[in-house]
Amino acid sequence: MSFTSITFAGFFLLVLALYWSLRRKTWQNVVLLVASYIFYGWASPWVALLLGISTVVDFFIALGMQRSPARSRALLWLSLVLNLGVLSFFKYYNFFSLPISAQLAQLGIPMDIFLVSIALPAGLSFYTLKKLAYILDVSRGTYKPVTNFIDFALFVSFFPQVISGPIDRAQKLIPQLQSARAWKGQYFASAWPLLVMGLFKKLVVADTVRSLVDRIYTIAVPSKFLVGIAALGFTLQILADFSAYTDLSRGAAWLLGFDTSINFNLPYLALTPSEFWNRWHITLSSFLRDYIFFPLRRALLKKRTLPDWLVQSLPPLVTMFVSGLWHGAGLTYLVWGIYYGVLIVIYQAAGIRGDWKPNNKLALFGAWLVMFSLIVFGWMLFRAPSMDWIGMALFKAPWLTSARDLVIGLVVLCVLVVYSLPLILKLLLDRFTLPGSWWQAAFFALITVAIIVYTNSSNSDFIYFQF
């Protein structure tokens, strides 16, 4: 059930009406929990069963940690093995099944069962990280386990964010679930700009650009010029697509009375790789930072015999490698993750870290241009269909195959500029006008018209559904 579908609109309006007709938070949470499982299991009920079983297991594991501190470490490992085991199986089975079957066939052992394709349940990567953060915090003693199962189950399955985040921590969401809620006009005022902007970014910008980008990436040997144009296009597409989902998720949550996490903060204005990851998919970045980067760095600092360069470079390399693994089972994702790890190490070695910023405007523009170019190249790696395709595009393809390539590339580039302008205009309006101003109202009126025009021509899923 996609956020942009008529089915979801009807579903959400029914949930909203029933939810706010109830006064007690217990019954409100019951409605949301039932609605979350209906939403999640709409296409495949078995995935809701998987979500439910894993939720029950982690609920009791967390309670067991509190009741028996001596068994806390064993229970932590049990949760890690179960959660990461399930995630790894669904995420990487298809990646390994074909080569394993081929090797066994060479030995004369028919293993056709390995060739069965297994679909990754939507949202598995997201709610697994949410549960892992909760279990790790309980094991560290920084968060007390929830004793009300409905509250915990709703925290895990909360339907506005169960498919693609944001990955809210227990400290952020559970206190809101445990508090009494009554309708306020502020909820609608906070929600509607997010909902309108989310629909615009998805239906008008992302899906339109996607149709152009996909055509270039299906060319076996595209020219380097077209590869560059496609990389620019995907840079716009993925930001519009994923931030649109976050906007719609946060807007829906606001209408239910919840303030959920901001997931994007102008990531393409970053000047360094570290700053980019502090601005892009913020809830994932904070998870990687708090549960992988910092623990690994602290562990390495205790090893006084290790050279300083290793202590400084290993944490970002491992962290970004894990980010690549999380995004998918493919060499392109792993290379993309390592690529960012190497970039962070290089910038750190050059003394560029934290909130670094050049002193003059020309140097500032140069630093931004370099970083933006590195981001675009990274998205080219991320979107590429295979490493062979990347090798062909970078090392064997000509710069231009014909005048037709030049014309096509320039036309696509013009389209990208046109579809980027509303997002740039929104940024300028947010910077230089007040919310509710005439300029803001005119902007939202225009993009609402665009949404109506584009509604029937856009029906693709959000990019991060596949992760």
Q: At what angle do helices 72-106 and 45-67 cross, to 10 degrees?
A: 140
| CB neighbours of residue 352 within 10 Å | 19
DSSP state of 262: P
Please indicate whether residue 327 is annotated as part of the active site. yes
Can you say whether the dihedral through the CA atoms of 333, 322, 92, 133 is positive or negative?
A: negative
Sequence letter at residue 191:
A
Crossing angle of helices 331-349/308-327, nearest 10°?
Answer: 150
DSSP label at residue 162: T
Are 132 and 80 in contact, with CB atoms under 8 Å apart? Answer: yes
**Encoded tokens for 445:** 């009126």
Distance CA 459, CA 264 (A): 24
From the candidates 181, 250, 327, 383, give the one annotated as an active-site residue.
327
From 26, 245, 29, 212, select the one nearest 126 (Cα to Cα): 245
Q: Rounded to whole angstroms, what are the CA distances from 287 to 77, 250, 283?
A: 18, 19, 6
Q: Is 164 exposed, middle or buried (0-12, 13-18, 19+ CB in 10 A)?
A: buried
User: How far is the CA of 72 from the CAs of 63, 65, 168, 340, in angstroms?
Assistant: 10, 5, 24, 35
Alpha-helical regions (H) of 289-330: 294-302, 308-327
Separation between Cα atoms, residue 173 and residue 152, nearest integer Å: 10
Contacts of 366-369 with C-beta under 8 Å, sequence gap 24+, read 367/271, 368/269, 368/270, 368/271
- Catalytic sites, residue numbers: 327
